Structure 1
Amino acid sequence: MTTIVVVGGTGYTGGHIVREAASRGHQVIAVSRSLPSEEVPGVRYETGAAEDVVPRVVPEADVVVAAVSPRGDMSGRLVGLYRTLAALSRDAGARYVQVGGFSSLRPAEGAPRFVEGELPEQFRDEALEGEATRAMLVEEAPEGLDWLFVSPAGSYGAWAAGERTGSYRLGGEVALFDPAGESSISGADFALAVLDEIDRPRHHREHVGVAY
């Protein structure tokens, strides 16, 4: 049994990861500001400000998943929180999986990342902060930390929830598109990809993308 700490464990992404991890029999600790409307059986919920809770729970972890959205009171604070999580994970000997955004991917090998181009104004601040967390990880990750940065497809989120299909494709930092030119993944199938990588690690200190 693996102990998995999911920071942001009641959000859209974190909630799916918590449910998938629990369904596989892992010991799951979900960190969030408040309890969810429906708790997942067997999951331990730790509530409060992430900066206060993570020093207490990360030492118990085999794997730490960072899935906090840079919104609301977390806007502008994500880089600092994730820097702390990375350091705590290294100290605990835990694998560190950080969820980022689609905009940190590239449209083609060697091309600028999407975040470096024109972005819709309503998504720009979140995309920039998400990319800043990726850069922090690549440039500052503690020596010896086994990390993974995972980007979902372009159409991803509660607004495009989709259904579990049991399938996905895992690529590198070049975005994946289907034959119709679409890039999408459901929350359940994104969580499936993350847990498959946790259960059978194949990528280390890399940036990967998930899409159909």
Structure 2
Amino acid sequence: MSRVVIFGGTGYAGGNIAREASSRGHEVISYTRSAPSEPLEGVEYRTGSLASPEVLATAAADADVLVVAVHGADVDGAPLVSYVPQLIEAARENGARLSFVGGAGSSLVAPDGPRLVDTPDFHEDWKPEALSHAEVLEALRQAPEDLDWFYVSPAALFGSYSPGETTGSYRTGGDVLVTKEDGSSEISGSDFALAYVDEIEKPAHSRQRFTVGH
């Protein structure tokens, strides 16, 4: 079993990952700005932000796998990508695998592109978050070769506003958005977490991004 440390472990994606990992017997530690009102059994909750060097050092020292499931455009007043160098260094120093819950916007809509965020129908209000997560992915791709990382992009419809159906299954893509035959693209939080923890247990995408959908 692994020690899984999650930044953003009470959010939609992070909470589902915490629940799934804990249910499989992993040791789960969640960092958030405040304690949850409904804590999950088997999860240790700590308060703190990855923006704090002290918090990050402690978290990385405790982790086999470090999960970053936070807002891409604003982490304590700065974009997430600005903290990626510190996250990379902390993971390397402690031999932790670094992973990110990414956005769908950087996914390609076809093997040759474009990215979803660059398509005409992509909502303008979503672009800052999508582009911020895309910058994180590019920073990881430039990381030193001794860093083991993975980055998971969900389907286009993913979040508390669109909880979807728990099916107990999922499909993966490389950089291409996972869609159904009718062109729709969605994944429930529970099935996204299933894919995420499967990757923790049986690494198949070392130093890669992969997409997940129903």
Normalised to the residue count of structure 2, the TM-score between the two structures is: 0.93
Aligned CA distance change for structure 1 residues 57 and 72 (closer, same or farther; 3 Å): closer
> Deviation of residue 142 (structure 1)?
2.6
Distance 2:84 2:36 in 1: 22
Residues 14-23 or 73-82, more deviating: 73-82
Q: 1:115 aligns with which of 114, 117, 122?
A: 117
Find the counterpart in structure 2 of residue 76 from structure 1: 78
For the aligned residue pairs, the C-alpha RMSD in angstroms reads 1.5
Instruction: List, as ranges, runs of 4+ consecutive aligned residues in structure 1 with deviation greater than 6 Å.
Output: none
Aligned pair partner of 1:167 in 169, 173, 192: 169
The counterpart of 2:133, out of the listed 81, 106, 130, is: 130
Deviation at 1:48, TM superposition (A): 2.1
Which secondary structure does the structure 2 equivalent of 1:44 belong to? strand
Q: Does residue 178 of structure 2 align to residue 203 of structure 1?
A: no
What is the CA distance between 1:160 and its match in structure 2?
A: 0.4
> Match for residue 67 of structure 2?
65
User: How big is each residue's C-alpha offset from its partner over 1:103-126, in whole Å with a ceiling of 9 and x where there is no partner?
Assistant: 111011122322234431210111
Q: Which runs of 5+ in 1 are unaligned?
A: none
Point out the more displaced range, 40-49 or 76-85. Answer: 76-85
Deviation (angstroms), 1:68:
0.5
Does the aligned pair in 2 maintain the 1:20–1:191 contact within 8 Å? yes
Distance in 2 between the 1:134 and 1:72 partners?
A: 16
Q: How does 1:39-58 map to 2 (within 5 A)?
A: 39-52=39-52, 53-58=55-60
- Does the 8 Å contact 1:151/1:208 carry over to 2? yes
Q: Which string of whole-angstrom CA distances, capped at 9 and with x for unpartnered residues, describes residues 103-162 of structure 1?
A: 1110111223222344312101111111111111112x1331111111000000000012
Q: Corresponding residue for 2:94?
A: 92
Aligned to 1:102: 104
CA distance in 1, matches of 2:206, 2:75: 31
User: In structure 2, what is the Cα distance between the partners aligned to 1:196 and 1:63?
Assistant: 13
User: What secondary structure, in the 3-state scheme, does the structure 2 residue paired with 1:188 have?
Assistant: helix
Q: Does 2:22 align with 1:22?
A: yes
Structure 2 stretches lacking a partner, 5+ long: none
Aligned to 2:31: 31
SS of residue in 2 equivalent to 1:14: helix
Q: Say if 2:5 is the partner of 1:5.
A: yes
Contact 2:104 2:153 in 1 (8 A): yes
* Residues in 1 aligned to 2:77 and 2:102: alpha-carbon distance in whole angstroms: 14
Shift of residue 94, structure 1, vs aligned partner? 1.1
Instruction: Please say if residues 51 and 75 of structure 2, whose CA atoms lie closer than 8 Å, have aligned partners that are also in contact.
Output: no
Q: Is the deviation greater in 153-162 or in 114-123? A: 114-123
C-alpha separation between the residues in 2 aligned to 1:162 and 1:194? 17
Report the residue type matching 2:132 in the other structure: E
Name the amino acid aligned to 2:14: G
* TM value normalised by structure 1: 0.94
Matches within 5 A, 1:178-189: 178-189=180-191
